[in-house]
């Protein structure tokens, strides 16, 4: 049923303005609820309204879009304790969009929308349609949806959301990888595939903001968001709440076009667009179109700035460690005695991995991988590994200190102490090109599948 269907079953859009009848009672109630629920969601959930800040967001404190939600933590936490019997304090550092706090926030939005719909329906029971209000509401959520599509799309188009698998992922047993990490590694392994996914989302966002292409943008965004939501659900990615609501926003935007879409599917003439216009004059529509294109440019500038920073900070252009590489331990001496490479030994190192400049990972013989802080002084030829979670009065306590010798580019000798024991570690650089996951390419002719 379209919001533009009159009580007598005719199409309001086909009638002259002076002859338009009111909406059906159910349509009026659904509109009131949708207006309140999705309007409140876009305003109070962290991401949608934040996108309108554009490049201004670069000058704001880190994590501001999630900490903003903490401004009204009092009632949210009270509802969490009273209704659900749970403490739902926001964790701004978690990076999860499915925190209990946010679920309770959405529950509060739902309750307010239901209560507001009841009150609105009683107080405004004589009004027969909300065509003008609906036009501005649909415009608002379309702009919010466009901002999200462009944001998430550019993060894939410039492959920074799911980077190429880092070195430490290449030495982990497959069975130790979580579902969510598996999806990240799978997409990141093929940057071209990730860029195509991002290109589709970016195109959806652009079409949403260009005159005469909004319906195409909604349809493309719906397909993209449906796929994202399914992946989030099946790989347990903690962005289920947002992706589901972005998919719902697409469906809401399609409601006024339901009659046209049905006509196309059944082979009938689609007729003119049914989505109500916020302004009726040609000049007003022209100004509104220019405003949307200007907003698109504003969004694009923000994404170029943000993704340029992301590319150089954690994307393909990020800085690398001076000892970059996977280093296999060929000899491990502790307290003057050679430690044999027994798989049951949980203290002997098997590999050292250097990727990011300020971190390193050591892997023991049982394949346990531990990431720690690292300080490399190239001029002094020293390496310090910092104990994980071991904060002292002067900062993180050293786990190990070494003098570094590199007689050849592929050979490393570390001499120093680990947890108070004198050690000497000899390492050999692993040839990355020999790792199967790094061997990409397209093989159009395969007599034998390349699964092994």
The reported pLDDT for the residue numbered 261 is 84
pLDDT at 390: 55
Mean pLDDT, the chain, rounded, equals 90
Segment 168-189 shows an average pLDDT of: 92
Q: Percent of the chain beyond pLDDT 70?
A: 93
Residue 51 has pLDDT above 70, yes or no: yes
Res. 61 pLDDT band, cuts 50 70 90? confident
pLDDT at residue 13 in the model: 45
**Average confidence (pLDDT) over 141-156:** 96
Residue 15 has pLDDT above 50, yes or no: no
pLDDT of residue 17: 43
User: Which pLDDT value is given to residue 362?
Assistant: 96
What tens digit of pLDDT does each residue of 285-322 get?
Answer: 999 999 999 999 999 999 999 999 999 998 889 999 99
Distance CA 5, CA 13 (A): 8
Closest CA to 69 of 86, 54, 89, 51: 89
Burial class (CB in 10 A: 0-12, 13-18, 19+), 255: buried
Name which of 147-151, 203-207, 280-284 the model is least confident about: 280-284
Interval 80-94 mean pLDDT:
92
Cα–Cα–Cα angle for 134, 138, 142, rounded to 5 degrees: 175
Task: Please name the CATH architecture into which domain 325-436 falls.
Answer: Beta Barrel (2.40)
- The domain limits of the chain are 12-313, 325-436
Contact in structure between 383 and 414 (CB atoms under 8 Å):
yes
Asked if 158 contacts 311 with a C-beta cutoff of 8 angstroms, the reply is yes
The pTM is what?
0.88
| Per-residue model confidence (pLDDT) at position 308 | 94
Residue 245 has pLDDT above 80, yes or no: yes
Q: pLDDT tens across 414-443, in order?
A: 999 998 899 999 999 999 888 888 887 788
Residue 16 confidence (pLDDT) above 50: no
Helices 191-209 and 179-189 pack at an angle, to 10 degrees, of: 90
| Cα distance between residue 284 and residue 290, in whole Å | 10
Read off the pLDDT of residues 210-226 as tens digits, 9 standing for 90 and up. 988 999 999 999 999 99
Query: Residue 273: how many CA atoms within 13 Å on its side-chain side?
Result: 12
Minimum mean pLDDT range among 23-27, 40-44, 57-61, 340-344: 57-61
Cα maximum dimension of the chain: 97
């Amino acid at each position: 049923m379209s919001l533009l269907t009159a009580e007598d079953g005719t199409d309001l859009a086909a009638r002259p303005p002076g002859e338009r009848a009111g909406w059906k009672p159910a349509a009026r109630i659904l509109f009131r609820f949708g207006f309140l629920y999705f309007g409140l969601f876009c305003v109070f959930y962290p991401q949608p309204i934040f996108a309108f800040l554009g490049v201004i967001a670069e000058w704001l404190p880190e994590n501001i879009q999630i900490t903003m939600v903490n401004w009204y933590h009092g009632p949210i936490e009270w509802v969490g304790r009273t209704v659900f019997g749970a403490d739902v304090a926001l964790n701004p550092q978690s990076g999860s969009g499915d925190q209990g706090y946010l679920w309770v926030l959405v529950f509060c939005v739902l309750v307010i929308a239901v209560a507001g719909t009841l009150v609105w329906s009683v107080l405004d029971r004589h009004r027969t349609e909300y065509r003008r209000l609906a036009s501005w509401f649909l415009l608002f959520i379309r702009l919010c949806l466009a901002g999200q599509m462009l944001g998430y799309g550019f993060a894939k188009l410039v492959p920074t959301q799911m980077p190429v698998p880092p070195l430490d992922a290449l030495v982990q047993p497959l069975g130790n990888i979580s579902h969510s990490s598996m999806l990240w590694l799978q997409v990141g392994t093929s940057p071209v595939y990730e860029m195509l996914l991002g290109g589709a989302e970016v195109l959806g966002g652009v079409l949403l903001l260009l005159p005469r292409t909004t319906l195409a943008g909604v349809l493309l965004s719906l397909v993209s968001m449906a796929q994202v939501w399914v992946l989030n659900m099946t790989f347990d990615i903690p962005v289920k709440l947002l992706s589901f609501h972005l998919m719902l926003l697409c469906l809401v935007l399609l409601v006024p076009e339901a009659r046209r879409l049905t006509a196309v599917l059944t082979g009938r003439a689609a007729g003119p667009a049914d989505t109500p216009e916020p302004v009726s004059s040609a000049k007003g529509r022209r100004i509104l179109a220019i405003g949307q294109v200007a907003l698109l440019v504003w969004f694009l500038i923000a994404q170029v700035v943000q993704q340029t920073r992301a590319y150089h900070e954690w994307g393909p252009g990020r800085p690398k460690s001076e000892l970059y590489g996977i280093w296999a331990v060929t000899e491990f001496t502790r307290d003057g005695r050679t430690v044999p490479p027994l798989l049951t030994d949980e203290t002997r190192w098997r590999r050292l991995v250097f990727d990011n400049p300020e971190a390193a990972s050591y892997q023991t013989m049982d394949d346990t991988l531990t990431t720690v802080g690292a300080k490399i002084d190239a001029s002094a030829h020293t390496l310090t590994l910092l104990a994980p979670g071991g904060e002292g009065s002067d900062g993180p306590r050293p786990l190990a200190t070494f003098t570094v010798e590199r007689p050849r580019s592929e050979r490393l000798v570390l001499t120093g102490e680990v947890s108070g024991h004198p050690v000497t570690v000899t390492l050999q650089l692993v040839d990355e090109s020999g790792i199967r996951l790094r061997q990409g390419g397209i093989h159009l002719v395969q007599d034998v599948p390349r699964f092994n």
